[in-house]
Structure 1
Amino acid sequence: MLSITNLSYYIGGRPLYEDASLHIKPKDKIGLIGLNGTGKSTLLKLINGDYKQDKGEISKSNDCTIGFLNQDLLSYQSEDSILSVAMQAFGEAVETQKAIDKILKKLETDYSDDLVEKLTKLQEKFERLEGYTMQAKAEEILEGIGFSTPDLQRPLKEFSGGWRMRVMLAKLLLEKPSLLMLDEPTNHLDLPSIEWVENYLRGYEGAVIVVSHDRQFLNNTVSKIVEVANQQLVTYEGNYDYFLQEKEQRAEIQKNAFENQQQKIKQTERFIEKFRAKATKARQVQSRVKALERMDVVEDVIDGTATVNFKFNFKQKSGRHVIRLEHVSKSYGDLKILKDTSANIERGDKIALIGANGKGKSTLLRIIAGTEPIEGKREEGYNVIKGFYAQHQLEALNVDNEILDELKQAGANKTELELRQVLGCFLFSSDDVFKKIKVLSGGEKSRVALAKTLISESNFLLLDEPTNHLDFQSENILAQALQQFKGAFITVSHNRHFISKVANKIWYIENHQIKEYPGTYEEYIYWKSKNPEGQNNNDLSKQSKEKKVNKPKPQKTSDNGNDKLLQSHQRDLTKIEERITALENEIALAEEEMADPAVFGDPDKLFKANDKYEHLKTQLDSLNQQWEAKAEEIDQLENS
């Protein structure tokens, strides 16, 4: 359906892609992953034709249509209702509907046969285009991704960027392109909407490429992972969990290949060094020299994992009770958020606040922070020091500051070395710390803002969607940091994998009340599935089931007697080399012993030391002969 062949794309002379290739089949469900800045969104724009590749070819079949949901659509505005905007997907049917309406208007005064015949043809066409069901389909999708029925008639311009993005997603889904490309769709969706999109994409008839850092979403929607790494597109069959297993296996194979090649290089160099001066071996030596020059070097495996190795320091420990809310009510006009509800946060609580958008999660976070007026009582505990992270923290960064200077202003009494160590944990190494904030990507700014929050010496953290714009590695760093955190925190997040790693309590808002489940996210999901009150909701327990994937059958490797004998000789050669190295070390020690004045001045000791030295030299000569014989046997087998 679509083929990418030998793609190269450069930014300021730096290769983002170099001879990369990818083939997309009609029903492929692809998760496109990689570290921030590797070019995932750029690849989608290249496929869409927004950018032009420097080399290579992107070709598609004549019947291939592309629908692209990208972050640029956040700024799209319109006076039309969101239902009308979504129904723009049925362009021809909408135009036919307008033509029908005009004829119906004329028929109020003109009953000519020509008009009736035109109306009949247009109505037949409208039915053929499924025009009579298009509004119902649009309403179903819009409500599926979180809009209420009254919202459908509101103008698009009244909604925030995230909600406008949902409308554009609905429009794309209604268009049903043969290739649907989604760039971080879950950033603007709540959990119920994410679940709805997952179900929709699983049954989608066309191909899908989705850029996402939501591990659970990828597991539930894709059957193939394409990783952007080292300017290449590396394909793995299966979902994200299978990708991790397969990547580990490939890394192990590459590591073994690297070590075997290094051993081969070492043996070849030793052969060249030993036989360079022998005329009878000149041909073999030259052959080995050329073989080294032609050798395709296997790269060592680079460890892509990152661990947090700094400790959180509090100026002071908070009291047992961090925040108490008693009989709290909150409304915006007629919109009721909370009604006479109470909740407590205690030291050591790690709370995930979950649920659908519009229920009041962000409002509750501001109430807990003390920045939102309420009816009722909010009581802050003893020695509580708050640290708040939200998306607006990115806007609060001083764009003219260097990263290191921005952290110095965070209020923590840390040395430059300590700050560099913290930044290293958040993937800013060496000269990266001197980058200006204004040149950073959205994900990099998120990491800086998170680092500022985590070093602020706060003992109570409030985190609003902290994983938005973070790649998998950065998300893992944040999760490790929060696991080590000894204070309390509450986080609003729709990232189920992240929640499952950090939370020991689950909060949600139901019937204007703060509800608490005192356990992990997995335990909450299980409880929810068994709770009779949750029978009418989506079965959330389905999310914990791993999607089955067809694992490729292992390739059979050819083997014969020569191969086995060659491997045996190479193992023998390695053992001989290890013994040679050990003997050379012993001989060096023996030489030092003979040079010792206490030994050199005593004839008996010197005799014994010299006898030992000569014995070691004899052993070394014998081993060198064994090595030469074994090397010749290997040479004959390799050239046979």
Structure 2
Amino acid sequence: MISITNLSYYLGSRALYENASLHIKPNQKIGLIGLNGTGKSTLLRIINGEYQPDGGIISKAGDVSIGFLNQDLLSYQTDDSILSVAMQAFARQNELQIKIDELLHKMETDYTDDLVDKLGRAQEEFDALDGYTIQSRAEEILEGLGFSTDDLHRPLKLFSGGWRMRVMLAKLLLEKPSLLMLDEPTNHLDLPSIQWVEKYVQNYEGSVIVVSHDREFVDNVVDTIVEVSGAKLNYYAGDYSYYMEEKALRNEIQKGAFENQQAKIRQTERFIERFKAKASKAKQAQSRVKQLERMELVDDVIDSNARVNFKFNFSQQPGRHILHLDDISKAYGEKRILTHSTARLERGDKVALIGANGRGKSTLLRIISGSEPIDGERVLGYNVSFSFYAQHQLESLRVEDSMLDELKQANPTKSDGELRGVLGCFLFSGDDVFKKIKVLSGGEKSRVALAKVLLSQANFLLLDEPTNHLDMQSVNILIQALQQYEGTYVVVSHDRYFVSQIANKIWYIEDEQIKEYPGTYDEYEWWQEERKAQGIGPSKQPADNSKMQPATSPTPTTNGQPTNGKATNGKPSDDERKEWQKTLKNLNRQAQESETKIAQLEERKKWLEVELANPATYGDDKLMQAKNDEYRHVTAQINQLQDEWELAMLEAEEWEKKLA
């Protein structure tokens, strides 16, 4: 569909791309990844024709159409309603609708055969283009992206930049280009909208290229990863999780090849040094010199997974109770956010505040910080000091200061060396630390602001969408930093992978109450699916039920019907006990069979790992691909069998309890 061959593109003397190649196939879903500044957005603009390459060939099939969602669209404003803007995607249908309206108006006074014929042809084409469904399709997509029915007829200019971006995304999806390019599409979406876009892209009939820091979104929508690294485009046939495994494997192989080559070089250099002066060996020594000159060098592996080791020092240790919110109510006019709600934070709580936009998450953060007026009581605990990170606070960075100066302001007790170490953890090295804030990109400013928050010596952190504008490596650094943080924090984020790594409690706002799930995000998601399956929604949830407990293990059944282990007299009958014992025996047998298969597959996996490290294997592309495919297949089988084993053991445990 689109072929890029030997692409070169330079920024001054720096090569963003040098002899890089990429082939985009029909219906392919590509995740374009790489560090900030490596040229991901630039590549999209080259494909879109906005930038001209310095070298190489870009070939496109004649019928290829391209749709490009980028951050520049945030500035678009108009008096037209958001429904009208979205429906601009249907250019031909809109032309025909205007023509049909004009013809119908003329026919009120001039009912000639010519007009009837023109109207018939226009209506026929309009119908063939599904013109009668375009409004309902536009409404469906806009509402899927979080707009209410009442919003659809409001002017676009009344919405914030993030909501305007959603309208432009809706317009793009309605256009259905053969190649859809999405640059950070999740930045301005809440969790329900992200999940909606995820499903839409999964089922999209064209090709897609996604640039996103949201690891789970990328994992769920792509079938190919293209990594921008070293001015090249490196191809991985799989999702992001596969890329991580495959890259580790490739790095291991490359590291071995590099070390072997270095050993050979050292050995050859010692031979040359030893025998170059001897007449009998001079010819051989010269031959070795030429051999070294012709040798194609293997690059050493550059570890892009930065490791963070912060030492957090609190200026004072807080008491056990961090925050009490008692009988809190908050409303904006007729829109009620909270009504007589209560919440508690204890020392060491790591809370993720999640949910759809408009529910009041950022408002709740401001209530916690004390900057939002409320009805009710907010009580901060003993010795609690907090630091607040939000996107608008990037503007508070002093533009004429260097990064180092900004961090000194946050923690004057740290030495320059310690502050440079912190900046190094956030991917700023060497003379970068002396750059002024005004020359930094949005992502770089975010990293500086986050470093300031973490250095602030606060024992309580409030973080509002901290992963926006960060690349995946920077998100990983933030995860590591928060995992090492011994204080308390509340984080608002729509990044599911990030939340799953840093939270031990989940807060959400439902029925104008602050609700809490006392577990991880993965457990919370499972619990929510169970609620949906049982038909439990917000309207059925008691308003005072602010503390939700994890769902319990499933109740044993007989022939698919719950028995709770009891006959009608309150005790199981002999027949029921025999049936239960039979079920328990089958479950134990299934678990044993799974264990045996897992052991066999683990042996095969170890053998494959040895084979993949064998030079004879990685020197043969076809053999390497075959071994890689088998390795992935075996790993997937092991994971599936382990899940089956765990489920069988859990069910067996329940039956054993009933039989006891």
Give the superposition deviation at 1:45: 0.7
Residue 264 of structure 2 is matched in structure 1 by 264
State the secondary structure of the residue aligned to 1:409.
Answer: helix
State the secondary structure of the residue aligned to 1:188.
Answer: coil
Distance 1:286 1:150 in 2: 83
Residue 346 of structure 2 is matched in structure 1 by 346
1:436-585 mapped onto 2 (5 Å cutoff): 436-532=436-532, 535=535
Distance 1:537 1:470, change over 3 A: farther
Q: Is the 8 A contact 2:506 2:524 kept in 1?
A: yes
Please identify, of 7-16 and 509-518, the stretch whose mean Cα deviation from structure 2 is larger.
Answer: 7-16
Distance 2:307 2:292 in 1: 37
1:150-165 mapped onto 2 (5 Å cutoff): 150-165=150-165
Residue 608 of structure 1 is matched in structure 2 by none
1:137-176 mapped onto 2 (5 Å cutoff): 137-176=137-176
Residue 32 of structure 2 is matched in structure 1 by 32
Q: Is the 8 A contact 2:348 2:488 kept in 1?
A: yes
Residue 380 of structure 1 is matched in structure 2 by 380
Q: Is the 8 A contact 2:253 2:613 kept in 1?
A: no
Residue 94 of structure 1 is matched in structure 2 by 94
How far does the alpha carbon of each residue in 1:151-209 deviate from its partner, in whole angstroms, 9 at most, with x for none? 11111111110110011101111101010000000111111111111111111111100
1:256-295 mapped onto 2 (5 Å cutoff): 256-295=256-295
Give the superposition deviation at 1:534: 6.8
Q: Is the 8 A contact 1:528 1:534 kept in 2?
A: no
Residue 51 of structure 1 is matched in structure 2 by 51
Residue 652 of structure 2 is matched in structure 1 by none
How far does the alpha carbon of each residue in 1:487-506 deviate from its partner, in whole angstroms, 9 at most, with x for none? 11000000111111110100
Larger-Rg structure: 1
Distance 1:366 1:557, change over 3 A: closer
How far does the alpha carbon of each residue in 1:555-603 deviate from its partner, in whole angstroms, 9 at most, with x for none? 999969xx9xxxxxxxxxxxxxxxxxxxxxxxxxxxxxxxxxxxxxxxx
Letter in 1 for 2:147: F
Q: Are residue 366 (structure 1) and residue 344 (structure 2) matched? A: no
Please identify, of 522-531 and 171-180, the stretch whose mean Cα deviation from structure 2 is larger.
Answer: 522-531
Distance 2:85 2:160 in 1: 15
Q: Is the 8 A contact 1:37 1:441 kept in 2?
A: no
Q: Is the 8 A contact 1:325 1:343 kept in 2?
A: yes
Residue 23 of structure 1 is matched in structure 2 by 23
Q: Is the 8 A contact 1:45 1:51 kept in 2?
A: yes
Q: Is the 8 A contact 1:412 1:456 kept in 2?
A: no
Give the superposition deviation at 1:411: 4.6
State the secondary structure of the residue aligned to 2:508.
Answer: strand
Give the superposition deviation at 1:18: 1.3
Letter in 2 for 1:401: D
Q: Is the 8 A contact 2:386 2:462 kept in 1?
A: yes
Distance 1:555 1:433, change over 3 A: closer
State the secondary structure of the residue aligned to 1:432.
Answer: helix
Letter in 2 for 1:146: G
TM-score (normalizing by structure 1): 0.83
1:41-120 mapped onto 2 (5 Å cutoff): 41-120=41-120
Letter in 1 for 2:410: A
Residue 199 of structure 2 is matched in structure 1 by 199
Residue 582 of structure 1 is matched in structure 2 by none
Q: Is the 8 A contact 2:531 2:537 kept in 1?
A: no
Please identify, of 63-72 and 110-119, the stretch whose mean Cα deviation from structure 2 is larger.
Answer: 110-119
Residue 313 of structure 1 is matched in structure 2 by 313
TM-score (normalizing by structure 2): 0.80
Distance 1:436 1:342 in 2: 44
Please identify, of 451-460 and 11-20, the stretch whose mean Cα deviation from structure 2 is larger.
Answer: 11-20
Distance 1:106 1:16 in 2: 59
Q: Is the 8 A contact 2:347 2:488 kept in 1?
A: yes
Residue 187 of structure 1 is matched in structure 2 by 187
Distance 1:558 1:409 in 2: 53
State the secondary structure of the residue aligned to 1:187.
Answer: coil
Residue 596 of structure 2 is matched in structure 1 by none
Please identify, of 202-211 and 403-412, the stretch whose mean Cα deviation from structure 2 is larger.
Answer: 403-412
Residue 326 of structure 2 is matched in structure 1 by 326
1:574-613 mapped onto 2 (5 Å cutoff): none
Q: Is the 8 A contact 1:321 1:382 kept in 2?
A: yes
Distance 2:478 2:615 in 1: 46
Residue 125 of structure 1 is matched in structure 2 by 125
Q: Is the 8 A contact 2:322 2:346 kept in 1?
A: yes
Residue 418 of structure 1 is matched in structure 2 by 418
State the secondary structure of the residue aligned to 1:228.
Answer: strand
Distance 1:199 1:412 in 2: 48
Give the superposition deviation at 1:138: 0.7
Distance 2:219 2:288 in 1: 48
Give the superposition deviation at 1:536: 7.3
Give the superposition deviation at 1:311: 1.0
Residue 429 of structure 2 is matched in structure 1 by 429
Give the superposition deviation at 1:276: 2.4
Give the superposition deviation at 1:531: 2.3
Q: Is the 8 A contact 1:505 1:520 kept in 2?
A: yes
Give the superposition deviation at 1:474: 1.0
Please identify, of 498-507 and 52-61, the stretch whose mean Cα deviation from structure 2 is larger.
Answer: 52-61
Distance 1:417 1:486, change over 3 A: same
Give the superposition deviation at 1:254: 0.5
Residue 626 of structure 1 is matched in structure 2 by none
Distance 1:556 1:387, change over 3 A: closer
Please identify, of 72-81 and 111-120, the stretch whose mean Cα deviation from structure 2 is larger.
Answer: 111-120
Residue 624 of structure 1 is matched in structure 2 by none
Give the superposition deviation at 1:109: 2.6
Letter in 1 for 2:139: E
Letter in 2 for 1:441: S
Q: Is the 8 A contact 2:328 2:338 kept in 1?
A: yes
Residue 588 of structure 1 is matched in structure 2 by none
Q: Is the 8 A contact 1:30 1:222 kept in 2?
A: yes
Give the superposition deviation at 1:412: 4.2
Residue 651 of structure 2 is matched in structure 1 by none
Distance 1:172 1:357 in 2: 22
Distance 1:319 1:555, change over 3 A: closer
Q: Is the 8 A contact 2:178 2:206 kept in 1?
A: yes
Q: Is the 8 A contact 1:529 1:535 kept in 2?
A: no
State the secondary structure of the residue aligned to 2:317.
Answer: coil
Distance 2:71 2:251 in 1: 34
CA root-mean-square deviation: 2.1
| Structure 1: unaligned runs, 5 residues or longer | 542-551, 564-640
Give identity over the alignment, percent. 68
Q: Is the 8 A contact 1:412 1:455 kept in 2?
A: no
Distance 1:555 1:106 in 2: 76
Residue 408 of structure 1 is matched in structure 2 by 408
| Count of matched residue positions in the alignment of Structure 1 and Structure 2 | 549
How far does the alpha carbon of each residue in 1:450-473 deviate from its partner, in whole angstroms, 9 at most, with x for none? 011111111111000000111111
Q: Is the 8 A contact 2:401 2:437 kept in 1?
A: yes
How far does the alpha carbon of each residue in 1:342-384 deviate from its partner, in whole angstroms, 9 at most, with x for none? 1111111110000111111111111111111111111111111
Give the superposition deviation at 1:336: 1.3
Residue 392 of structure 2 is matched in structure 1 by 392
Distance 2:496 2:89 in 1: 32
